[in-house]
C-alpha cells in the first residue's frame, strides 16, 4: 500500500503539471471504486470544465481540489495507481476511470485488486476515514512536544501505536518498520515503557525516514517507477537478508497476516509478545 512518501511524491509531481488545467472529460469504465457523494449530480457533469486548483496529500489520500469547492479524494489501498495516458486510450482490464484535461493529458486509475476508493465530494468531512485522522507525520505543527503528548495515552505495542492513524497519520506497515529500525526500537515494545530518550529518538527517526523516503519516491516516480515500488528499504521486505547496520539476518514475524521486519541485534526485545 502506498504510504506517506509515495503519495506525497505523486502529489508533488502532479501539481505543476495539472494545476490550472480544466477537466475535459471523466470516463467511468468500472464504477466500483468511484463513490459519488454529490447525489444531485452525475459525476461526469459535476467535474466537466472544472479547473484544478491544487493537488496535495492528507495521510495516504491524494486530494485534487477543483473550483466550485469540489474535490476528488483518492485512497489507493493495496494496488491502486494513477497513471498518465492518452485521453482516448482503450481501457484495460482493471482500469476503473480516466480523467482527461484541457492540455491533452490524462490520468487513468488502475487497480488490480479493486480495493481502492475515489470519492467525489464538496465536503471532505464526508469522506470515510478522512475526518478521523490525527496530525500528519510530517506536519510542521507536529512538534516533538505535540508528538510526545499524543503518545501518552497509548500503552500498546509501539508499532501498532505508530500505525494508528488517529495518533499520527500517514505511516503504514512498511515505514513503521523502517522508522523503528532507525530508532533502534523493538517493534513489540510497549509504548508506555519507552523512556523519554527513546520517544524523542522515535520522533527524530520518523522525521528522518519519511523526509528521506519522500525525496527518493519523487526521484523514483519521475523516473517511471510505479506507485507501489520501493527500492533501498533498510529492513522492510528483507527477511533473511543481512542487516545494513550489523550484518545479522533480518527477522520477520507475522501478526494478523501483517509482516514485521526488524533486526534482533539492533532492535533487541523479548520474543514473547505480552
Q: State the catalytic residues.
A: 2-3, 60, 258
CA 213 to chain centre: 12
SS3 136: strand
Alpha carbon distance 100, 28 (integer Å): 11
Contacts of 145 (CB under 8 A, 6+ apart): none
Alpha carbon distance 17, 34 (integer Å): 23
- Give the DSSP per-residue string, 19-30: TT-BEEEEEES-
Residue 125 backbone phi and psi in degrees, to 5: -65, -15
Extract the runs of DSSP E, i.e. beta strands, from 50-105.
52-58, 61-66, 70-75, 80-85, 95-101
CA neighbor of 55 nearest in space, from 72, 35, 78? 72
Are the C-beta atoms of 227 and 84 separated by less than 8 Å? no
Neighbours of 231 (CB within 10 A): 9
Beta bridge partners of 117: 75
Residue 156 backbone phi and psi in degrees, to 5: -75, -175
CA dihedral for 231, 236, 237, 241, sign (positive or negative): positive
CA neighbor of 33 nearest in space, from 1, 85, 2, 75? 75
Amino acid at each position: 500500500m502506498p504510504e506517506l512518501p509515495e503519495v506525497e511524491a505523486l502529489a508533488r509531481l502532479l501539481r505543476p503539471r495539472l494545476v490550472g488545467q480544466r477537466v475535459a472529460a471523466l470516463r467511468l469504465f468500472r464504477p466500483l471504486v468511484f463513490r459519488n457523494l454529490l447525489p444531485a449530480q452525475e459525476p461526469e457533469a459535476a467535474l466537466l470544465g472544472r479547473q484544478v486548483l491544487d493537488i496535495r496529500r492528507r495521510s495516504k489520500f491524494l486530494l485534487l481540489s477543483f473550483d466550485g469547492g469540489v474535490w476528488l479524494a483518492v485512497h489507493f489501498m493495496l494496488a491502486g495507481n494513477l497513471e498518465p495516458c492518452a485521453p482516448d486510450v482503450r481501457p484495460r482490464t482493471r482500469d476503473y476511470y480516466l480523467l482527461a484535461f484541457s492540455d491533452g493529458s490524462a490520468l487513468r486509475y488502475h487497480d488490480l485488486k479493486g480495493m481502492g476508493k475515489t470519492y467525489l465530494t464538496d465536503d471532505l468531512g464526508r469522506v470515510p476515514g478522512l475526518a478521523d485522522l490525527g496530525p500528519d507525520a510530517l506536519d510542521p505543527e507536529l512538534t516533538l512536544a505535540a508528538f510526545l503528548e499524543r503518545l501518552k495515552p497509548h500503552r500498546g505495542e509501539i508499532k501498532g501505536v505508530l500505525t494508528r492513524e488517529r495518533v499520527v497519520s500517514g505511516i503504514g506497515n512498511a515505514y513503521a518498520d523502517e522508522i523503528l529500525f532507525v530508532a533502534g526500537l523493538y517493534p513489540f515494545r510497549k509504548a508506555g515503557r519507552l523512556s523519554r530518550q527513546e520517544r524523542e529518538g522515535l520522533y527524530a527517526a520518523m522525521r528522518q525516514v519519511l523526509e528521506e523516503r519522500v525525496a527518493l519516491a519523487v526521484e523514483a516516480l519521475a523516473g517511471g517507477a510505479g506507485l507501489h515500488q520501493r527500492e533501498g528499504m533498510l529492513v522492510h521486505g528483507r527477511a533473511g537478508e543481512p542487516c545494513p547496520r550489523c550484518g545479522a539476518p533480518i527477522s520477520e514475524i507475522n501478526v494478523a497476516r501483517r509482516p514485521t521486519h526488524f533486526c534482533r541485534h539492533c532492535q533487541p526485545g523479548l520474543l514473547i509478545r505480552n
